[in-house]
Structure 1
Amino acid sequence: MIQFADNTMVEQLKKIWKECFHDEDSYIDFFFGEYFHDESTLVYLIDKTPVSMLTLMPAKLHEKNGIRKVYYVYAVATLPDAQGKGYSSRLLEYANEITKNSTFLQPATKALENFYERNGYSSTIIRKMIRIKREQLELDEKSQMELKAATITSERKRFAIKELRAEDSSLYKKIRDGRLSATNYIEWEEYELAYAIKENAYTGGKTLLIDDSYIVMVREYEDVLYIREHTMPSNLIMELVRQLLTDSNLQECSVHLMRTDNLQANETQTIMSRFPVERGKGYFNLAFE
């Protein structure tokens, strides 16, 4: 039996999450305390007990002729002793029935990519990243051009940086939508952006307002600075990377690129969907991973 979970099922859902993803209890409590709500999580029940789950996060896909409501599929999980019985596949099929094939997701591994492909998903949006070492930012202009990176001038600009909180999600959304909105852009709702800011902060990251004009979401992980999303022109984001690396004393940064960035990506990730998007033409960087 499939239905939306309610608050009486939360402890069982936490058990599924723990056994599948092995996250700290505090992070699991954070998700269910800050995001979970009625009609957000589908469950497969055996004897009235959840054994499999997935969460649907609403968003909007900007198409040529209008806006389509879509849903990001997050935290697909089945108890280990219930795996291999098709429960996750049935949840995915039900999710696509009620959303009219309007779901998308980011597979964590190649094996999961194959699993989702068998469940009707296609690789559509390619998230592009560039990984930069600190020494690359100190090259001269000629070398920068040879690397097809942004031109780094000899001038050093210090950006004015303010940290945004969840209550600033409307400002984040305004800047994000204004800079990124275009055909095949996936727009997050304010509720999800507020959660993204809180989740990023919970895991040690920061959401930054740069010069009162741009937004940048950053997180440090294993001595690498990750810029999960930004709205800055290519030359300015490289200058900001220099400043952030210098201030943090880190040696490396990975930047998720906008479609308009003229930087040469050296890493990619795949987003899969049940709705059509011309491959490589969409934008979706701010994923929950």
Structure 2
Amino acid sequence: MKPEETVFHEITLQDKAWMDQKFAEDDRNACEYSFANNFMWRNVYQVRVAELHGCLVVRFIDGEIHCFSFPVGNGDKKAAVEELLAICHEEGIQLLIAPASEQDRAQMLEWFPGRFLIEGDRNDYDYIYAREKLATLAGKKLHGKRNHIARFKDSGDWSYEPMTAENIEECRTMTYTWIHMREEKWNEEMNQEISVLHEAFDHMQELGLVGGVLRRDGQIVAFSIGERLNSETFVVHFEKAYPDLQGAYPMINQQFVLHECEGYAYVNREEDTGDPGLRKAKLSYYPDILLPKYELEESGVVYADPKRDAPYIQEIWQKCFGDEEDYIQFYLKHRMTRENMLVIFRDGRPVAMASFLPVQYLCNGAYVDARYVYAVATLPEYRGQKLAEQILRFAEEKYQVPLILSPAEESLIRYYENLGFKNAFQGERKNVSGSDITALEVKDTEPVACMEPVTPEEYVRIRDEKCAKEGYVHWDVDAVSYAMELAASCGGGTAAVSCEDKNTRNEQEDDRDILMYDIREKELVILETTLSDDALSQVLPQLMEETGTSAASYGRERGMIWLPKTMADLPVAGDGYLALTLG
């Protein structure tokens, strides 16, 4: 008999009392933490429950995915996780815990450093609103909701009533009409939701659910069902209204909160599951809390935590690259997030790392999501274990998007080729110094370049307009903002460049170019420019004089790309455009 079978059992109504007690001990405000929610979904996800070390743990099975809730209650949560690890190892699977709160995340980083990949799922975040906001719909932002409700009330013949044994069958019948009205959009997830809804109809009283019904001309046109979630929050599990009836949804929303949520400070309206229409609808009520929820997956490669792991990252960086502490700190502050640097732990600390920064890659005429790989490094004393390769292989499998990088040294090209990377971005740096500067001086008969301040938004727009072609790497405004600030911190700058008089320029036809540079030991380093070599020759002497530099370099860094299997047959543009390497 497997260990799981000795402790976990199918959830039944007899589990309600002890599970309610455990939920109350933690008083969590995520929608999953209620007995009714777990019971109603028991058939869809084969829900099992157990008490481990004084904690409640719920197990879900969805196809090949086995998932456990974070331990709930006043028991020994760490011991409960350790037992879950033992159960999963006996079964030959990796432990996956979800959902977990912000506090759970911090606790797991302390208890099990380097053992769990922890990431948030925006599609699973709960929308939580102040009860008073939903009840009154006061303020300019919710003016549209009030207008929709006014249109619903125009008929004059409407009423609200609690859901009871007398009207629940009418609600059940209404769902069949609702399904028919949405049959063009129907899918398996909707089938599952309807089956769960009918579980709610069947067990309203036993589960402690509360419902509300909206009628128009005597017919039910909307209903809502929810329950007490914790000491200050009510959760709405279901809300159905005829989609072609103006104002029906905002009306049942408001009336249900008015009548059934008195005494609560907040109303949790659950997640949007990534559905664009549902997300727009939930955001239109302006949530007071967008509650993060995390997945914690046992893994040999994990995300570095910006706070806890920063000293170790800095040590790896300095030993491997020799960069100044100020630069490293600048990068960690502005570019490192909770979910873009992968590391491997050994001896209780990170010893190998690589950043994976989000970019977009123009491939086969369309932009696709990609990752720029930066700062691949392993502490010298841990080399020879192929840790960097493990991180890259993990990233390939996890992200399933193109990976782009610029090898720091020529010797690394063969290494990356052996990992499946292909040369995709041609690069060459040119140097100007000494007598070359005199040759580049601007003649009196030629127009003097006008350099003006440029915003990150303008920079991105000009860059896209001038450079976008097959194999182009697009950086977003946040990335360019970082690059501009970094350049400025190195004595450099960023400008929009034009050889035209700005007073006579046609503002409808912005033909300016961009130029970003920094200063390195009296050398002017052009990080990126869309100027032609001829145009740049008119700018360099002027810029070198202003910056007091005696030499300059310009051009592009070479780069490589790895494509996932789904894109493996696509041709790689050998002359793609990378330019900025925004670490």
Smaller-chain TM-score bracket = 0.7 to 0.9
Q: Does 1:56 align with 2:356?
A: yes
- Secondary structure, aligned partner of 1:209: strand
What letter is aligned with 1:218? Y
Q: Does 1:81 align with 2:368?
A: no
What letter is aligned with 1:11? P
Stretch moving more, 19-28 or 80-89? 19-28
Offset, 1:241? 1.5
Aligned to 1:191: 478
Gaps of 5+ in 2: 1-299, 503-511, 564-570
> Using the alignment, how far apart are the partners of 1:217 and 1:157 within structure 2?
21
Q: Does 1:121 align with 2:417?
A: no
What letter is aligned with 1:22? G
Aligned to 2:456: 169
Q: Does 1:182 align with 2:482?
A: no
Mapping 1:185-264, distance limit 5 Å: 185-211=472-498, 213-256=512-555
What letter is aligned with 2:412? L
User: Deviations for 1:23-60, whole angstroms, at most 9, x for unmatched residues?
Assistant: 22222211111111111100112254211110011111
Task: Give the counterpart of 1:6 among 299, 305, 309.
Answer: 305
Contact 1:57 1:72 in 2 (8 A): yes
Aligned to 1:265: none
- Secondary structure, aligned partner of 2:371: strand
Task: Give the counterpart of 2:447 among 157, 163, 178.
Answer: 157
Aligned to 2:236: none
> Using the alignment, how far apart are the partners of 2:434 and 2:320 within structure 1?
36
User: Deviations for 1:165-219, whole angstroms, at most 9, x for unmatched residues?
Assistant: xxx2111111111111112111111121111112222222211222472210112
Residues 191 and 217 (structure 1 numbering): CA distance in 2 closer, same or farther, change over 3 Å? same
> Using the alignment, how far apart are the partners of 2:551 and 2:326 within structure 1?
29
User: Deviations for 1:142-177, whole angstroms, at most 9, x for unmatched residues?
Assistant: xx9xxxxxxx7652433332344xxx2111111111
> Using the alignment, how far apart are the partners of 2:325 and 2:492 within structure 1?
19
- Secondary structure, aligned partner of 1:110: coil
Residues 136 and 109 (structure 1 numbering): CA distance in 2 closer, same or farther, change over 3 Å? same
What letter is aligned with 1:286? L
Residues 19 and 277 (structure 1 numbering): CA distance in 2 closer, same or farther, change over 3 Å? same
> Using the alignment, how far apart are the partners of 2:377 and 2:369 within structure 1?
24
Contact 1:125 1:277 in 2 (8 A): no
Aligned to 2:578: 284
Offset, 1:137? 5.9
Contact 1:206 1:218 in 2 (8 A): yes
Contact 1:45 1:52 in 2 (8 A): yes
User: Deviations for 1:204-242, whole angstroms, at most 9, x for unmatched residues?
Assistant: 221122247221011222333221111224432221113
- Secondary structure, aligned partner of 2:420: coil
Stretch moving more, 182-191 or 130-139? 130-139
> Using the alignment, how far apart are the partners of 1:61 and 1:241 within structure 2?
30
- Secondary structure, aligned partner of 2:309: helix
Larger radius of gyration: 2
Contact 2:433 2:552 in 1 (8 A): yes
Q: Alignment length, in residue pairs?
A: 264
Task: Give the counterpart of 1:28 among 320, 328, 336.
Answer: 328
Q: What's the Cα RMSD here?
A: 2.4
Contact 1:127 1:283 in 2 (8 A): no
Residues 4 and 30 (structure 1 numbering): CA distance in 2 closer, same or farther, change over 3 Å? same
> Using the alignment, how far apart are the partners of 1:245 and 1:45 within structure 2?
46
What letter is aligned with 1:157? P
> Using the alignment, how far apart are the partners of 2:316 and 2:485 within structure 1?
23
User: Deviations for 1:113-153, whole angstroms, at most 9, x for unmatched residues?
Assistant: 222222221222112333334644655xxxx9xxxxxxx76
Gaps of 5+ in 1: 145-151, 258-268
- Secondary structure, aligned partner of 2:544: helix
Stretch moving more, 30-39 or 7-16? 7-16
What letter is aligned with 2:518? R
> Using the alignment, how far apart are the partners of 2:544 and 2:346 within structure 1?
51
Contact 1:57 1:192 in 2 (8 A): no
Task: Give the counterpart of 1:274 among 540, 556, 562.
Answer: 562
Offset, 1:69? 1.2
What letter is aligned with 2:381? D
Residues 93 and 224 (structure 1 numbering): CA distance in 2 closer, same or farther, change over 3 Å? same
User: Deviations for 1:65-93, whole angstroms, at most 9, x for unmatched residues?
Assistant: 31121111101111121111110000011
Contact 1:134 1:245 in 2 (8 A): no
User: Deviations for 1:238-262, whole angstroms, at most 9, x for unmatched residues?
Assistant: 21113213334534322226xxxxx
Contact 1:18 1:25 in 2 (8 A): yes
Task: Give the counterpart of 1:105 among 405, 408, 411.
Answer: 405
Stretch moving more, 13-22 or 70-79? 13-22
Identity of aligned residues (%): 25
What letter is aligned with 1:161? M
> Using the alignment, how far apart are the partners of 1:43 and 1:104 within structure 2?
18
Contact 2:358 2:371 in 1 (8 A): yes
